[in-house]
Chain A
Amino acid sequence: MARLLLWTFERPLLTAVVVAVLTALAAVHIPKLEMDPSAEGLMVANDPARVLYEQVKRRFGSDNLTVVVVKADDVFTPTVLRAVQRLTEGLERLDGVTRVESLTTVRNIRGDGDRLDTEPLVGSPVPDDPATIARIRGDALGNRVFVGNIVSADARATAITVYTDSRPRDGAFNERFTEGVESLIRQVTAPGLTIYQIGEILTRVTNQRYLDHDQRTIVPIGVGVLLLVLFLAFRTPQGMVVPTATALLSIVWTLGAMAYIGVPMNLLTSVVPSLLIAIGFTEDIHMLVAYHASLEHGRPKLDAIREMLAESALPLTITSATTVVGFGTLIFTDVTMLVQFGVASSLGLTANFLVTMLVVPQMLRYWPVPRHIRRSAFADGAREGPLLRFLDGLGRFNLKHRRAILVTAGLVAAGSLVGWLGLRVDTDFLTLLPKDSIVRQRVADFGRALGGALNFYVVVDTGRPDGVKDPQVLRKIAGLQDFLAGTGKVSKTVSVTDYIRKMHREMNGGDPAFEVIPDNADLIAQYMLLLEGRDFAKFVDFDASGANIVVRHNRTGSNAISALRHEIEDYIHREFPPTLVARPTGEAILTNNAMDFLAVNELQSLVSTFVVIALIHAALFMSFTVGFLSMIPNVIPVLSVYGLMGLVGIPLNISTALVATIAIGIAVDDTVHHMITYNRQLQEHHDQERAMFNTLRAQGPPIIYVSLALVASFLVLLFGSIVSTVQFGLLSAFVMAMALIGELTLTPVLMGTMRLVTLWDMLLLKMNVEVIRHAPLFEGLSRWEARKIVLLGKLETVGAGTLVLRKGDTGDELYMVITGRLHVFNRRPDGRETVLAELTPGAVFGEMALVTREVRSASVVAATDAEVLRLDFAALERIRRRFPYTGAKLFRNLARVLAERLRKTTGALVADDAAAAASDVRAAPGSA
């Protein structure tokens, strides 16, 4: 990867062309980007309930309505009724309106002696005489279908219901319609009248306006905060411009890709640009730190860039991969909006990675070297500053309280799990809007004045044509309606039974005793013949096999709707015969289904994110243990934020559920940088404590600045209008803070328990093939295994003439020569040195120390520049634990080496003995 980056770096023109082309391609598509302010994406794709809902809409009409409310002291006055009429007629003319229902359109049924009137309740023109008005009032308030539906029982409010084409994603239509209604209201309004509109379309338009507003205010502020932090950190414009440029480019590319693929900007995907800024900025800081460090060490600019690339290649690739994976798992959830978010964020992060790789080096190339590098927070000079002292102190703290840190982490995790128990899944669209939002106020007002502003259906299917005309069926339906009324959770239900009952009463002279369901099925059929018409089509379908109960209510939370739905289903299960099928359905029910899925999906996604990232880390460090341990400092913040939500009562909803995924994506990056740096330090110094301190010093400042900047920019979201945005900001800030603490304390402690070997180093290490083939220590080992041993040991480079072992020293390491030549020599008392043996690559020396703890029997000096591998007890232990199979082979080889020594020694002793015996024999004659 580093090679690829360096190659690209050397070709600025090619890079520029590629970037320009891609940017142009993206920019071309951006105008086609779709805006989707609806909640449609929250429905579960392929939900069978969705299919049912679409069918129901065809049979009974859409449940999507806008209501224009007219309030007055008494709506039954000519003035108000005329206003209602003007509004009705004006609304009927609006584009997209299919039907309007109001006091002036409904038919009244009135029976009086032998008369039956089925005329409109309010004639046209609106009558003036008090008698007629009084009659209208009486008729309206005496009609069970009207009261609580189009007029309130106290006659202080009336509702004009407007049915429109369903065009949820057509933002322009929604705006035009809303404005059209507002304009009508302005024309008609008069003193004494309060008129306003509410409904799904208004809610969508309001949502969109808030989202737009937030995008326009919060995003710039958030960006401003980040830029401020960047400036404070780097003290040079370069530090601000480079990250900004890469963020902007990647946003352009992402939006273009989204437009091309067809992913719309919705409630969730509108977060993606901010996400890119946050994450991109993280990587840029790390890269610039590396660049400035190189500059500070005196490297010329281009070399510094190359060093930066070499150093950053690995961490950047890993962090990008893990973040893409983290968000990518959302693509496998069932909720359309989450899938879209997963796609958009994965695209964005990939784009960000490409942009960073291609553009940053070139930007630095053409940018003059900053003059005030030494002033930056990451400069060597700063390392003596307060930040450094803090980090050193932290390091000492980590060492001293290792156990306490682990225990605390465990307690936090346990405590969070307890908090998790209290976590609820609840999306309440209305409470997502700010408390003072018009929509919320109106819905509350409407609820008080007239009844539920929201509705859903309960569809009853008899399974046969004319099944609804059966009195038994109607009684069951009426029973369900009574049950619903009894729960107190709905404001009104209207169904065919209400019309039939009303008709029956009026056919019997208006006698209330007759407001019941007749026993005669033929009579019911005849009533329905009369009632047939557009008003009625909402309640009975074309062949009268199905009936619809329209339920009006004010429950906005998904929890509440779920509970109500279950109550209804229980009742149906108890009271309805198996042949009579009844189901609640409606847009609210469908999005509610999605909420149920949401929690499960999010959890699944989270778990898979963890697993995949852990696997990536395990592959990187070639150890499952490491992979697992590396996730702990990232799991705990996530657990803690959910625990917090459970304790404090913030519900899990579409926005807050994302906090964990986003947090992981960002927090894991820091861990990777941390571990890679720690590993390199360990390679260099072979001292875990020192490695930890150095790592804290090197990675601490970037990690701290990044985390603080992210916390600050998340806190900016507190200024958002939509409650879920605010909650999201708060929780994200919290989780970033927790991640920071974990990164500075828990990660070092955990790292300290293991020695890391990265895949990368393995690939980079160039081993002399000959050495591996012939070294007795490496016999039977593959190249891979040999490298593992080398990396777990310590590779030392010694210059010619360096004393590696001194006779008389104690030591517990053995050595193997990798390259070069060494001499074993003995210094005689008279100072002369005799070379006892020459050690060539593959030769092992010092191995006796492993068996006995004797002092060194001879000295070893490097005759040429040489590389030697040093293995001590600890190293051998590590090898044994980490790579037992390799270790076994190593020990076998070691045994062989020792045996060989023993054999030589014994052989030498035997030879000496024989020589001595021979000289003894020669000396023997003459002596007695």
Chain B
Amino acid sequence: MNVLALLRPPTGYLWIALGLAAVAPLPMPAAAQSGPEIMQKHRQVNRVKDEEEQLVLRLVSKSGAMKERRVVRFTMNGADDLNKILIRFLAPRDVENTALLTWEAKDGNDDQWLYLPATRNPKRIAAAGKKNRFMGTDFTYEDLRPENLAVHTYTSAGDEAIDGQDCWLIESVPANERVAADTAYRKRRLWIRKDNYALVKREYYDKQGRLEKIESLRKLVSVTGTAWRSNEFEMQDVQNGTKTVVVVERRAVDRGLKDDFFSEAELTRGGS
């Protein structure tokens, strides 16, 4: 009796298996992916090394009045999938060069620096301010980051179509008590498109479990490889009746930004 002979798969199946393995990297909408799996995939395909965006922020009040700000945002994805982000105001004139620098940290206690051009030195800001709204917009600091998979627990909640596109519906809650304390939301829901893993909609629920905000991401463009970005996204505060619309005027990815770009020196330099 040759036991090894029994263990060897039939040669035909081997070729088929190898063939399949060759085409495996292509994203295939699998029958039942879990929440974390989907999110991992979402991050993975949409990750770029670095990114520069010139954004117009339109803040719309409850009565429909609008004010406009212009910023440039640099993002760099580094080790452990942690980001460094630099945001600088371009307009209006009296806040030009106001800048915010963020270094994400593994434990969620990010480092942040704020620079007001009319002062001399930048200030370090406490991380607990993450749930504060960014400069009068409807986005909080945490909203403006890419999904931080480490601090959230994701569960798949079925499927839904948004604008005719099939999406996975994912529910996200803070991973632990400490994270829960830092965040403004008890729960969020995310809609990830099945075809390209792009995020198209997010709902934010406040600590009382009531729907607070709805984020819609439109005008999706492919920026490189598998990565997609939205060129126009909007955060609507349903409780207050305000909304912020962000329009991407210009984007450049993978330009090779370095760590030292995301420094206090760059923060205070101004003009870019």
Please list the residues of chain A having a beta carbon within 8 angstroms of any beta carbon in chain B.
Answer: 58, 89, 92-93, 107, 111, 114-120, 123-125, 465-466, 469, 507, 518, 520-523, 525-527, 529-530, 532-534, 542-543
Instruction: Say if the beta carbon of B218 comes within 8 Å of chain A.
Output: no
Given A118-B129, A526-B116, 10 new contacts (CB under 8 A): A58-B63, A111-B123, A116-B124, A117-B125, A125-B181, A522-B117, A526-B98, A526-B119, A533-B132, A543-B65
B65 touches A526 (CB 8 A): no
Please list the residues of chain B having a beta carbon within 8 angstroms of any beta carbon in chain A.
Answer: 61, 63, 65, 67, 89, 92, 94-95, 98, 114, 116-119, 121-126, 128-129, 132-133, 135-136, 181, 207-208, 240
B240 touches A522 (CB 8 A): no
Complex contacts, B114 vs chain A, CB 8 Å: 116, 530
- Contacts A521-B94, A522-B95 given; does A115 touch B124 at CB 8 Å: yes
A469 to B119, CA, bound (A): 16
A123 touches B181 (CB 8 A): yes
Partner of B136, one of A115, A469, A518, A533: A533
B126 touches A466 (CB 8 A): no
B240 touches A534 (CB 8 A): yes
Complex contacts, A117 vs chain B, CB 8 Å: 125-126, 128-129
- Contacts A520-B118, A529-B136, A534-B240 given; does A118 touch B67 at CB 8 Å: no
Partner of A526, one of B63, B118, B126, B240: B118
Smallest beta-carbon distance A284→chain B, Å: 58
Partner of A542, one of B65, B132, B207: B65
Q: What are 30 A-B residue pairs whose CB atoms fall within 8 Å in the complex?
A: A58-B63, A89-B208, A92-B208, A114-B122, A114-B124, A115-B125, A116-B114, A116-B123, A116-B126, A118-B125, A118-B129, A120-B128, A123-B181, A507-B123, A518-B118, A520-B118, A522-B95, A523-B116, A523-B119, A525-B92, A526-B94, A526-B95, A527-B116, A529-B89, A529-B98, A529-B136, A532-B136, A533-B133, A542-B63, A542-B65
Q: Which of B65, B95, B117 has the most CB of A within 10 A?
A: B95
A114 to B113, CA, bound (A): 9
Smallest beta-carbon distance A669→chain B, Å: 55
Complex contacts, B98 vs chain A, CB 8 Å: 526, 529
Complex contacts, B132 vs chain A, CB 8 Å: 107, 118, 533
B125 touches A525 (CB 8 A): no
B129 touches A119 (CB 8 A): yes
- Contacts A107-B132, A521-B94, A522-B95 given; does A119 touch B117 at CB 8 Å: no
A529 to B114, CA, bound (A): 12
A523 to B119, CA, bound (A): 7
Complex contacts, A542 vs chain B, CB 8 Å: 61, 63, 65, 67
A523 to B97, CA, bound (A): 12
Complex contacts, B92 vs chain A, CB 8 Å: 466, 525
Smallest beta-carbon distance A630→chain B, Å: 59
A507 to B116, CA, bound (A): 10
A115 touches B123 (CB 8 A): yes
Smallest beta-carbon distance B26→chain A, Å: 46
Partner of A543, one of B67, B119, B122, B240: B67
Complex contacts, A119 vs chain B, CB 8 Å: 126, 128-129
A469 touches B116 (CB 8 A): no
Q: Which of A120, A521, A532 has the most CB of B within 10 A?
A: A532
Smallest beta-carbon distance B62→chain A, Å: 8
Closest A residue to B93 by beta carbon equals: A522
Smallest beta-carbon distance A473→chain B, Å: 14
Closest B residue to A506 by beta carbon equals: B123
A522 touches B118 (CB 8 A): yes
A114 to B121, CA, bound (A): 8
Partner of A114, one of B61, B117, B123, B128: B123
B136 touches A93 (CB 8 A): no
A111 to B117, CA, bound (A): 17
A532 to B63, CA, bound (A): 17
A120 to B127, CA, bound (A): 11
B181 touches A525 (CB 8 A): no
Smallest beta-carbon distance A109→chain B, Å: 11
A871 to B126, CA, bound (A): 109
Smallest beta-carbon distance B190→chain A, Å: 25
A507 to B136, CA, bound (A): 19
Complex contacts, B124 vs chain A, CB 8 Å: 114-116
B123 touches A522 (CB 8 A): no
Smallest beta-carbon distance B69→chain A, Å: 9
Complex contacts, A525 vs chain B, CB 8 Å: 92, 94-95
Complex contacts, B181 vs chain A, CB 8 Å: 123-125
A120 to B94, CA, bound (A): 27
A395 to B77, CA, bound (A): 110
Complex contacts, A465 vs chain B, CB 8 Å: 67
Smallest beta-carbon distance A470→chain B, Å: 11
Complex contacts, A529 vs chain B, CB 8 Å: 89, 95, 98, 135-136
Smallest beta-carbon distance A111→chain B, Å: 7
A114 to B129, CA, bound (A): 16
Closest B residue to A521 by beta carbon equals: B94
Complex contacts, B119 vs chain A, CB 8 Å: 507, 523, 526
B117 touches A526 (CB 8 A): yes
Smallest beta-carbon distance B178→chain A, Å: 10
Closest A residue to B130 by beta carbon equals: A119
> Can you list the 5 inter-chain pairs with the closest CB atoms, starting with the nearest?
A532-B136, A523-B118, A525-B94, A116-B123, A119-B128
Complex contacts, A93 vs chain B, CB 8 Å: 208
Complex contacts, A533 vs chain B, CB 8 Å: 132-133, 136
Complex contacts, A522 vs chain B, CB 8 Å: 94-95, 117-118
A119 to B182, CA, bound (A): 10
Closest B residue to A525 by beta carbon equals: B94
Complex contacts, A107 vs chain B, CB 8 Å: 132
B135 touches A530 (CB 8 A): yes
Smallest beta-carbon distance B269→chain A, Å: 17
Smallest beta-carbon distance B137→chain A, Å: 8
Smallest beta-carbon distance B100→chain A, Å: 10
Closest B residue to A118 by beta carbon equals: B129
A115 to B208, CA, bound (A): 32
Complex contacts, B65 vs chain A, CB 8 Å: 542-543
Q: Which of B89, B92, B125, B136 has the most CB of A within 10 A?
A: B136
- Contacts A522-B117, A542-B61 given; does A118 touch B208 at CB 8 Å: no
Complex contacts, A118 vs chain B, CB 8 Å: 125-126, 129, 132
Complex contacts, A92 vs chain B, CB 8 Å: 208
A123 to B128, CA, bound (A): 9
A117 to B124, CA, bound (A): 8
Complex contacts, B125 vs chain A, CB 8 Å: 115-118
A465 to B66, CA, bound (A): 12
B94 touches A466 (CB 8 A): yes
A117 to B119, CA, bound (A): 16
A93 to B65, CA, bound (A): 29
Closest A residue to B113 by beta carbon equals: A114
A543 to B208, CA, bound (A): 31
- Contacts A119-B126, A522-B117 given; does A532 touch B135 at CB 8 Å: yes
A449 to B260, CA, bound (A): 54
A119 to B181, CA, bound (A): 12
Complex contacts, B67 vs chain A, CB 8 Å: 465, 542-543
A518 to B119, CA, bound (A): 11
A367 to B161, CA, bound (A): 81
Closest A residue to B115 by beta carbon equals: A526
A792 to B80, CA, bound (A): 117
A241 to B28, CA, bound (A): 91
